[in-house]
Amino acid sequence: MTKKEYQIQQIRVMKFYCRLPEYFLEDARIFEGEIAVSTEPIAYEQRQSLKYEAISEGMPWGKLWDSAWIHLAGEFPKSWKDREVLFQLNVGGEGLLFDAQGVPFYSITNTSSLVRHYRKEYVQFGSCTTPGKFELWLEAAANGLFGREEDPDYPDQHGDFGSIRKLRYGLFRCEVWALALDLEVLMSLLHFPHTAGDFGFPKTPAFPEGSAREKQLMRILSRAVDCFAGNPENATAARAILAEALQTPALASARTVTAVGHAHIDTGWLWPVRESVRKAARTFASQLTLMERYPDYVFGASQPQHYLFVKENYPALYEKIKQRVAEGRWELQGGMWVECDCNLASGEAIIRQFLHGKNFFRDEFGIEVKNLWLPDVFGYSAALPQIIRKCGCDRFLTQKLSWNQSNKFPHHCFRWIGIDGTSILSFFPPEDNYNATLVPEMLNYGVNNFSENDTIPEIISLFGIGDGGGGPKEEYLERGIRCANLEGCPKVRFGRADEFLERLGKYENELPAWHGELYLELHRGTLTTQAEVKRNNRRCEEMLIAVEKLYAGRDLKEYPTRELDRLWKLLLLNQFHDILPGSSIALVYERTRKEHQDILESCNKLIAALANDTECVTFVNTLGIPYHGLVALPESWKGTEELASQQTADGKYYVSLTLAPHQNRVLNRKDNRKAISQTPVPVLENKLVRAEFSNTGELVSLIEKSSNREMLSAPANIFKLYHDRPNANDAWDIDAFYMNEELTEACCCTQITPVTTGALWAELSFEFAVGSSTVQQTVQLMHDTKRLEFHTSVMWNEKHKLLRVEFPTSIHNGKANFDIQYGFLERPIHRNTSWDEAKFEVCMHQYCDLADTAGGLALLNDCKYGVSVHENIIGMSLLRAPTYPDATADRGKHEFTYALMPHTGDFREAGVREAAASLNRPPLMIAGDLSAWKLPMEVKNITGSVVVETVKRAEKEDALVLRCVERHGCIGRCRIHVAIPWRTITEYDLLEWNPVGECAESGAEFSFKPFEIKTFLIKK
């Protein structure tokens, strides 16, 4: 066979394969149907209350996000008895079929956001045991091609949705369908241009081009086409010809692939969260049906929130899931409540993801999940390994770093080591995909791409299409069966991910190590996009922890367990990895804003419930460190009997308070305002620092007085506006070339006010024009702190712009420190290697610090995450303005505060973290006298910096939980005292499940390794 002849036969076979679906239906008939459309989903039980009209193929029925109930009716002829029946249904979106008892059993779709051109429209009904009339109910959803709203810059991408395409049923020509699958597998072995669809995976042929085996297989394929001869009755004979190739066994040395059914479902992304409820039901129903047909098949799903969605909305379906879990056929994956963002969520929030996630799985199913399952998260904090381990997990799976723009991550199976030294066995599926299809090309790519394939003889394949795809469909399972022992590809076996991950343990000592964060060289814009959501998320994190501590100092009978549980779960849901990062549609953020507001208002109600007295207020410091700073007074107050107060431009009054850790202070009302003065000189100065500004609003000098050191090398607090058009992924990405597209004339100072000096602080204000937007900024310096605060309000009217602020420093060092969850991370700030160069935008939480041996400059913030430190310049991203997937992302008013804090010596000893914490969590203000409030424990440092992070009621018993962390990266030692009636102190894991230390009494000492997190249960 010449090369030309081979190509001719290849085209012939491919076209034949594409024609075969025309033969799947025999004696095809059209359903009779009627439809009722609604703007919101209607429960199955209420479907009869709707108004119905007749439908037919080709009829449009709904606009984007509409829902519908479709009633279908047909008749099975007597001649169909005991023959297989097939439905062909396409409603221009997603759909879910219900049986006669109202239980969903199978889903259809013409769309998935993960795979373009995906279709799932054939439903194998089974054998016709009872001829006669029948009816079906189908719930439909008019979701667009990518399930989302249109990008205004790239219109007409919806595809065909909300339109009836197919309403057919007929006899199922099983042999023709099976013939198509036989062909598909063999075509994939030969690297045909089109096999299982345009899924975009790297194709790896099984045999060398022009080899004898390649030509031999092509001849077999051609013979099968000859045999079929356009007659579906010849399908069995054609299959017999292909069997010669399909029965040739794999090589003895072939690697093994553990194939796990999977369906990645984003809790909210290009559709509202309410649609994820139905996506979960559609997916889960289909997989339960497949389990009935394929006894070896195993499906797995993560995210307890999705299981709760199904439990609350589809209880009968949920009971079927529980049965399959008990049988071991359905695998519970991942310990988190949702697959949450791991850059932006706080350390305590990540612990709560595990706490609520693992408790749900244990309470509902009696199973402890031992792995963290995060295939699609945008980077992984170096604090995570310790949290994973202490939450009872020892395995971690992701694949997202295969998306790196610049550098190929060197490992697929490795030991990931965090900032405290904890090691977690980690695995990246080497197919670089969590939508695998079980075709030989993709399987071969996986085993050949596997970095550790010289050591480990197997890989895992996560097969099935998520996000509307419904997970695996029959074809995927059939491919896996054909590839179980097939020449030219690895050996496929269906199995569980947890068992695969456990088997990797035998190789752990031979595996390479990766220290520090798993930085994704992509999606850097998610550190900044949807700034309001990020700000409210941090406020909610801080407020929930503060309220828990407040109630932990009361009688536990008053503890609002149920309400706090509800509020935490709202927050955790909205930390999903497409919600908090800012990569979802506007409908998602409408809900997120409401739920963040619910959390904040509910927390304020819980605080207000403790007292009611307008003659005094109590301020409670809920930080585990001293608080020094300003606190706002009630609106009706003018001052206090003890402390001077000062009024801001918007009429609010503040006092300066210093409170020890977890201390309270009662203030009585009295007008005691101090006079203020004004001076035109743009200098803010106290005994510690001197800050000089130009008449154009630039910070031109910042002197740390004890060392007489100038901290700046050039004017600072410089706003810079950039054209922001990433190559792809608008809301997700900031590409490095943005730095070349600065709009140099876009920022100018339009107004400056004189310095105002009052009882507590001095301040001056500026107004800037930034593009089409305005920035109002009040710079404050308290009389007894080094913290220079920039209180900022922006009316943001941009589109595809990035606003940053920069601070050129006089400090030269090759590294800087960045606040992360429960610690800090040292990163290089040069561009020596491609790995360093790729980190042009990184994540911080409340501060970053650039210093040398003499001292440094810290940048603090109350809601920003995207930062760069390059050589001597600190820059922070403030706002973006993408148009996809939310056309109005970030437009409108924003408020935030950042601060500069010069210091001498090491930033840890200078109190940088403490200053940042004070900026983020001021004391709680309670109307009334709570002078008796006191936590029933006290933690005293002996060495190091052990900080009380969390005090709350235990999840399962009347005990207190005390969570402490060593924050300085040093060996720490502390003494814990408890007050009667509390008596014993026992260290537990982070889940509060298992003791990991001996029971001790009040006054016991405890040691901490650097950055170690310890959780104690205190009991009576």
Query: What average pLDDT does the structure give for the chain?
Result: 94
Q: Alpha-carbon distance 399 to 406, whole Å?
A: 16
Helices (H), 504-629: 531-552, 561-573, 586-608
Burial class of 152 by CB neighbour count within 10 A (0 to 12, 13 to 18, 19+): exposed
List all residues 6 or more positions away from 490 whose beta carbon is below 8 Å from its beta carbon: 250, 254, 255, 256, 257, 443, 444, 446, 447, 459, 483
Plot region of 117 (φ>0 → left; ψ -120 to 50 → alpha; else → beta): left
pLDDT for position 204? 74
Q: Cα(152)–Cα(799) distance, rounded to whole angstroms?
A: 12
Please give the distance of CA 937 from its chain centroid, rounded to a whole number: 35
Single out the catalytic residue among 182, 266, 376, 724.
376
Residue 151 is among the residues annotated as catalytic for this protein: no
The token pair at 837 is: 């160069």
How open is the CA angle 184-190-196, to the nearest 5 degrees?
A: 30
Question: What's the gap between Cα 429 and its chain centre?
Answer: 19
Number of residues that this document lists for the chain: 1020
C-alpha span between 690 and 712 (Å, rounded):
12
Upstream peptide bond of 430 is cis (omega within 30 degrees of 0): no
Displacement of CA 20 from its chain's centroid (Å): 41
Q: Which secondary structure element, helix H or strand E, spans residue 355, and what is its range?
A: helix 347-365
| pLDDT (tens digit per residue) in 67-104 | 999 999 999 999 999 999 999 999 999 999 999 899 99
Distances (CA, A) of 282 to 16, 124, 162: 32, 16, 18
Q: Residues of the chain whose pLDDT is less than 70? A: 116, 145-160, 194-203, 614, 638-642, 670-681
CB 527 within 8 A of CB 892: no
Q: What are phi and psi of 496, to 5 degrees?
A: -100, 145
Q: Using CA atoms, how far apart are residues 524 and 56, in angstroms rounded to an integer?
A: 47
> Strand 513-515 to strand 413-417: parallel, antiparallel, or no bridges (unpaired)?
parallel
- pTM, entire model: 0.96
Q: Determine the pLDDT at residue 608.
A: 92
Say whether 40 sits in a helix, a strand or coil: coil
Q: What is the dihedral of CA 335, 337, 342, 343, to 10 degrees?
A: -160
CA 419 to chain centre: 21
**What pLDDT, in 10s, does the model give residues 948-998?**
999 999 999 999 999 999 999 999 999 999 999 999 999 999 999 999 989
Comparing CA positions, the residue from 476, 54, 64, 88 lying closest to residue 261 is: 476
In what helix (H) or strand (E) does residue 276 lie, and over which residues does it extend? helix 273-293
Alpha-carbon distance of 342 to 382, in angstroms, equals 10
